[in-house]
Every structure is written in C-alpha cells, then in structure tokens.
Amino acid sequence: MTQQTLAEALTLTAAGEGGLTARLSGDFSNAPRSAPQERGAPFGGLMAALAAGAMRQGLGIEPPLQSLTIQYLAAARFEEIGFRPVLDRGGRNVVYASVSGGQPDRPAIQALGTYGRDVHGPVLTPLAAAPTPVRDLDRTPMDPAFGPWFTQLIDHRFVAGPKLFGENAGRAPELGCWMRTIDAAPLDEARLLFLLDGLYPTYFTAFPAPPIISASVDLRADLLTAITPDTSPDGWAYFHFTSRDVGGGWAVEDGVAHAPDGRPIALVRQRRKLMPSRGL
C-alpha cells in the first residue's frame, strides 16, 4: 500500500455547515513499527496540525497562529474525521477560535487557537541557541522495534545521540534534536506543530528499558514569530526537550523550537498520563 504523504494527511475538505474532514491513515500511527498500525492511534502532532488548520481554513483566519491549546479526549480511528471550527471572537488585532474534532460517537480532540498579527515593539530573545549545525550530523532513524510508524515521516538528527533508556540517569533529563519532515518542504505552521510532538517522551532518557508508555492528555504550543518560507526554506528546526516532572502517574515536558539561525520560534508544553505497568 502506498504511504500517505504528510501533505495528503494535512488536507482538509469542506463538508457543509462549516465543517471540514480529513482522512487519517495508519502511516501516522503512534504504535511501534514492530506492531500493527491499528494498535495505536493518529499521533498528537498530526491532530494538533489538523486542529489549527481547521480553524484557519474553516473560518478564513489570516493572521499568524500565536498559541494552540489542545486536549486529547480519545484516540481517533484511522478513517475520515470531522472538524467543526467556531469563531469565538474576531478583532483587528487578535482572533479567538475553537474547534472540536472526532468521528461519529467518538469525540477525539477539542482545541483553542489564538491568532494575531505581529507588530513592531521591544525584542528580547533569551532562548536563542547555537546547536551543532545540522549539516554536521548524521541522520538517526528510529529503531523499528521501538520507533512509532509516524517517525518514518520525520528526518531526525540528534545532537549527542538519542540518549535512550537511562543514558541521562543522574543528569538533566533533556534531549536535543534537529527535525524536518521527509518531504523537505519549507517549515510552516502545520509542519512545526507536527514536529513539536515528533519525539519520544524525554523521560525515556532518564529511566532504563522497557519504556514507560504514556498517552498525551493535553498540549500547548506558543509560536513566537510568524512562520514563513524564509524561516527555514529546507524545513529544518532544532528542538530541545526537557522533562519537568514525572510522578503520581503523570509527566510534564517542555520544549523549545529554534530556526536554523538559532532564533526561538516556538515553545511547547505537554502533559502525559503514564500507563500502568508491572513494577509501578
């Protein structure tokens, strides 16, 4: 079977009464490639990109996305999914919108979006970074026994290696990686949202194998600048992720995305619910 491309997966079709639909493929499953695609669900980064796209396309929103907050209510199925965006408040400077998405009898996500134009003002960028240039790093495909299906759509290049399963034990639980989608298209809002969830939980670097599996409960992304084709013409962005807290059956993780010139372009915070496992 031909693999669904990212452009196809991100395509939203008008469905009447202000709704839109997209087709979800098992190629974007969060199940490991050693398991059938149906064992997983469409991964959170794809759902975030579709939610933001549904608000923009369905409501005719033009200003850049400033923030997206999404709750993952249930695992969507690999079939057509519907989205219904709502304009909560429009204005000259800021637009507030929301969207719900799911399949018949199965609400999957609900999200809030804030859109607004950038204007001239004071500038402070303390999160600027200077990572190893991506050209100096080798591609690091995920091990098929561990890596989810959707990672086949991402080119990963780790700084200092993937550090899986305890390599960060006793050290800061953090991870740096360059990523772009394999179509090498210029970075845009949808691809940035897709990539902000494009790695395994950072706490995997602090604990030994087997991995403690978790499910994304909610995610908030703040875009720090308008994402244009000039931001990253080759699609690359550098991501630095950190586990902030793991305990009580929950994990909270933060990330920063940087343009190739080191400018910070997005922040992300994700809360995960740890799945029960033996020994916990």
**Structural domains in the chain?**
6-116+127-272 (2.40.160.210)
What percent of the chain is modeled with pLDDT above 90? 90
For 64-117, what is each residue's pLDDT tens digit?
999 999 999 999 999 999 999 999 999 889 999 999 999 999 999 999 999 999
Whose CA is closest to 239, among 274, 193, 272, 206?
193
**Across 134-155, average pLDDT:** 92
What is the average pLDDT score of the chain? 95
> How many beta carbons lie within 10 A of that of residue 91, not counting itself?
10
The span from the first CA to the last CA of the chain, in angstroms, equals: 39
**Across 54-63, average pLDDT:** 97
Identify the pLDDT of residue 143: 86
Does the structure show a pLDDT above 80 at 201? yes
Residue type, 114: T
When computed from its CA atoms, the radius of gyration of the chain, rounded to whole angstroms, is 18
**Across 241-255, average pLDDT:** 97
**Helix/strand/coil for 272:** strand
For 158-194, what is each residue's pLDDT tens digit?
999 999 999 999 999 999 999 999 999 999 999 999 9
Identify the pLDDT of residue 232: 98
Does the structure show a pLDDT above 50 at 280? no
Q: Contact 189/66 with Cβ under 8 angstroms?
A: no
Whose CA is closest to 241, among 199, 213, 276?
199
**Across 9-28, average pLDDT:** 95
**Across 209-231, average pLDDT:** 95
**Measured between alpha carbons, how far is 161 from 132 in angstroms, rounded to an integer?**
12
**Across 36-49, average pLDDT:** 97
**Across 20-49, average pLDDT:** 96
Identify the pLDDT of residue 39: 95
> Given the structure tokens 């084709």, which residue do they identify?
229
Q: What would the DSSP string read from start to end of 142-181?
A: PPTTTSBGGGGGEEEEEES----SSTTTTS--EEEEEEEE
Q: Which two tokens stand for residue 113?
A: 């979006």
When pLDDT is cut at 50, 70 and 90, the band that residue 277 belongs to is low
What pTM was estimated for this model as a whole?
A: 0.95
Residue type, 261: D
> How many beta carbons lie within 10 A of that of residue 26, not counting itself?
19
